[in-house]
Amino acid sequence: MFARIVTFPLKPESTAKLTDTVEKSVVPLLRAHKGFLDQFMLVTSDGKTGYGISFWDNKENADAYNRSGYRDVLKVLDPVIAGPTQLQLCKVTNSTAHKIAPAKVA
């Protein structure tokens, strides 16, 4: 399993709008892509930074989404994002939510 972690600055007072937009628009876009499993949205306590974490069944499907669907999500989130986003792709090694076995150390 792989996770895409997107970090982005938020416009002032936009947490409620972000929450609504993710629920109504972003999640349906994600669900349309092969390999999508789950999504978490986090906002810092000061409301200045958001973190979108999406989970994918494998790296290939996460990469395919990055090439074909990510731009659509950025357009939908444009009213709440205050600047450039940063993306990290990570292998999920443990998860209590998904009951994933720890990765084997080589």
Q: CATH number of the domain that 30 lies in?
A: 3.30.70.100
Residue 105: inside a domain:
no
Cα distances from 56 to residues 79, 89, 106, in angstroms, run: 26, 10, 23
Residue 106: inside a domain:
no
Residue 100: inside a domain:
no
Residue 101: inside a domain:
no
Residue 87: inside a domain:
yes
- Structural domain boundaries enclosing 78: 2-91
Q: How far, in Å, CA of 82 to CA of 15, rounded? A: 12
Residue 102: inside a domain:
no
Backbone angles phi, psi at 90, to 5 degrees: -130, 145
- Say what the pTM is: 0.86
Looking at the 3D structure of the chain, how many domains does it have?
A: 1
Residue 28: inside a domain:
yes
Q: In a structure prediction context, what are the per-residue pLDDT tens digits for the chain, which is 106 residues long? A: 999 999 999 999 999 999 999 999 999 999 999 999 999 999 999 999 999 999 999 999 999 999 999 999 999 999 999 999 999 999 988 877 765 555 555 4
